[in-house]
Amino acid sequence: MSLTTRIAVLLVAGLVVTEGAAGAATPTAVDYSFNVAPGDYEVTVNLGSASQAAQTGVQVEARRTMLAPVSTRAGEFRREVLAVNVRSPESMPTGEEGTGTPDLQVHLTGSHPAASNVSVAPVRRPRLFVVSDSTASDWLKGPKRGWAQELPQLLQPGIVVANYADSGESTVSWLSNLRLFATVKPLIQRGDEVLIQLAHNDKTTTESTFRANLGKLVDGVRQRGGLPVLVTPPVRHLFGANGKLTPTGLVVNTLGVDLPAVIRDVAGKLGAPLIDLTARSQALLEKLGESASWPLYLTVQHDGVQDSTHFSEYGGTVMAGLVTKGIADAHLPAAAFLRMSAGAVPAVAKPPGTVAPSCLAQPARADATAAATVKVWLAGDSTMADPKSSCPVGWGSRFDALFNDQVTVVNKAVSGRSIQTWLYESNVTGTKNSAGECVVSPNAFAQRWLDMLDPAKGMQSGDYLVIQFGINDGDASCPRHVGPARYQSLLTTMANAAKSRGVQPVLLTPVAAITCSGSTAVGNRGFLTQTTAAGTATGAPVIDLHKLSYTLYNTLKLCPNDGDYSKGAVGAFFCNDHTHFEAAGADRIARVVAKALRDQKIGLAGYLR
């Protein structure tokens, strides 16, 4: 019996509360409807029954699998929080299968589903967008399942999957149809990740057009401050007599263009992270063999139709597992939110006689994302640098402790440097040219920057580069002097060099000194507009640490101050000057930066403790 509980949702002071929520009195309810507007929400479900054993999973909207069925004993309860993206149409953006059911639909699955206290609240979380075709779509009807439809169950609620995959689409139609990229692009915010997997329907697209279209999609995502990730397509179940997949199975189009190979090349040239789903799915199918791999796809025996392209529920879940393995291997921010070990497949109904691939069927474990190791590189001056004595202490030295074990902070900040002397060190002379800038001769980077650019030992795809200069740059004399235009140019150069390696740059305005106007701390640094402009030019997020820091000083009531920085609250925060920090001050500034990462939904926030 299916009992539907309709729940009116009231918005009170930013919190959603429910009336008539299903509780212990209605343990047989399996369908819930919440009257909410499009947006992102957390659905909280208390799984289990007081009187009997249960097995309960959760699907939402267009059969998106949020939680694979889990077992509970009689009297055992398990609280699950799920992050859900609500949109209309609820499945594909062009409405191929209609608009679906209004509001937010929650459906309990499993052999003996039981839950109570199902509730919904709006949230702001980083989004993982999916730009793709039918192989990833949310299918509202029929047996087909897209891998992105099964992806949410593999992720923790700290990130929201926004699946805009649409059946029949190519790189051409994604750019030309106003309901596709033109609609999705404005929704992308700084720190969001966008998985771009298109190729299956580019059957007659020339290589030059395919390359250009991928470039337009990547550029469009970067313009919004998002992180574009190119994904090669999953293979088709088309085997040759030799037991290997045919060229068509490997998504070589009718013009002979090896589309996955082009995607790999474009990713390298554009410095975009890559998930090679073609190679991963090919290896899996050819290892299983033609017969044993059919249950991944739709079959007459199990689904009533034979389809060598589209997935069963089981196949979609297996492909989603391959995608999570790619997310982990590419060190993407989303790796911090993996619910299971990378590549693992949760309990899911498999066609009769199917054996789960041994390379995928790993158990869930709490430390699932340990395989993903991300480096956060810091470039800056003394306010960021590691200490050489008890004071000063740079805030960068306190940054590592704020992250989980998946992150290593590499602090390359150096005391006394402007952005130019940090980049060029002793090659910056004491002479100014006709433009008023310090002459750099020879024009060669310092070893610290060359080390960070080293392909083997330096910054890698998925890492982060945090840059904060602007204090010593205002020096009137060389070698430290840097003018506004030169500062912006050098900052842009550093950010672009990072992005070309698949590294996410994060630009910070200079941290404020303590300057008081009566009882109010006020701003005192330059290069603020130049930092913002460099962020706009490169698509890098900008944290206004200058404003955040003097706002903190006001919160701590560090003003008024008579110039004595050795006593009271000011003495505990600063060294015996107005610029450099004691350990406690450095710790507070590091936490200000961490909070900004969260507030601005920058992907690095996913690794914070």
Q: Is the pLDDT of residue 108 over 90?
A: yes
Write out pLDDT tens, residues 278-326: 999 999 999 999 999 999 999 998 889 999 999 999 999 999 999 999 9
Largest separation between any pair of C-alpha atoms in the chain: 86
| 346 confidence band (pLDDT: 50, 70, 90) | low
**Which residue has 């949109």 as its token pair?**
87
Strand (E) or helix (H) holding 183: helix 181-184
| 2 confidence band (pLDDT: 50, 70, 90) | very low
Write out pLDDT tens, residues 543-582: 999 999 999 999 999 999 888 888 888 988 999 899 999 9
Query: How far is Cα 162 from Cα 187, in angstroms, rounded to an integer?
Result: 10
Q: pLDDT at position 489, please?
A: 96
Write out pLDDT tens, residues 436-495: 999 999 999 999 999 999 988 899 888 899 999 999 999 999 999 999 999 999 999 999
What's the Cα-to-Cα distance from 252 to each of 258, 275, 278, rounded to whole Å?
4, 18, 11
Give percent above pLDDT 70 in the chain. Answer: 90
Q: pLDDT at position 30, please?
A: 87
Mean pLDDT, to the nearest integer, of 377-404? 93
| 12 confidence band (pLDDT: 50, 70, 90) | very low
Entry pTM = 0.60
Q: Is the pLDDT of residue 17 over 80?
A: no
Strands 520-521 and 29-34, sheet pairing: unpaired
Q: Which two tokens stand for residue 557?
A: 């009531």
Q: pLDDT at position 479, please?
A: 97
Best-predicted range by mean pLDDT (32-46, 417-431, 498-512):
417-431
**Which residue has 């998002």 as its token pair?**
226
Query: How far is Cα 236 from Cα 250, in angstroms, rounded to an integer?
Result: 7
Q: pLDDT at position 342, please?
A: 58
Write out pLDDT tens, residues 352-388: 555 555 444 333 333 333 334 789 999 999 999 999 8
Strand (E) or helix (H) holding 436: none
Q: Is the peptide bond before 479 cis (omega within 30 degrees of 0)?
A: yes
What's the Cα-to-Cα distance from 539 to each of 131, 145, 200, 469, 505, rounded to whole Å?
19, 34, 29, 18, 9
Q: pLDDT at position 513, please?
A: 95
* C-beta of residue 34 within 8 angstroms of C-beta of residue 120: yes
- Region of residue 459 (left: phi > 0; alpha: psi -120 to 50; beta: else): beta
The phi and psi torsions of 373 (rounded to 5 degrees) equal -115, 125
Give percent above pLDDT 90 in the chain. Answer: 71
Q: pLDDT at position 123, please?
A: 87
Residues 439, 445, 447, 452, CA torsion sign: positive
Q: pLDDT at position 340, please?
A: 62
Q: Is the peptide bond before 69 cis (omega within 30 degrees of 0)?
A: no
Q: pLDDT at position 423, please?
A: 97
Query: How far is Cα 382 from Cα 203, in angstroms, rounded to an integer?
Result: 56
Average pLDDT over the chain, rounded to whole? 88
Q: Is the pLDDT of residue 433 over 80?
A: yes
Q: Is the pLDDT of residue 338 over 90?
A: no
Mean pLDDT, to the nearest integer, of 146-164? 94
Q: pLDDT at position 28, please?
A: 52
Write out pLDDT tens, residues 61-105: 989 999 999 899 998 888 888 999 999 999 999 998 888 888 899
- CA Rg value for the chain: 27
What's the Cα-to-Cα distance from 527 to each of 124, 448, 477, 487, rounded to whole Å?
31, 23, 17, 8
More confident residue, 156 or 350: 156
More confident residue, 288 or 502: 288
More confident residue, 97 or 214: 214
Min mean pLDDT across 8-17, 169-178, 593-602 is at 8-17
Q: pLDDT at position 345, please?
A: 65
Size of the chain in residues: 609
Q: pLDDT at position 146, please?
A: 97
Q: pLDDT at position 544, please?
A: 97
Query: How far is Cα 414 from Cα 394, in angstroms, rounded to an integer?
Result: 10
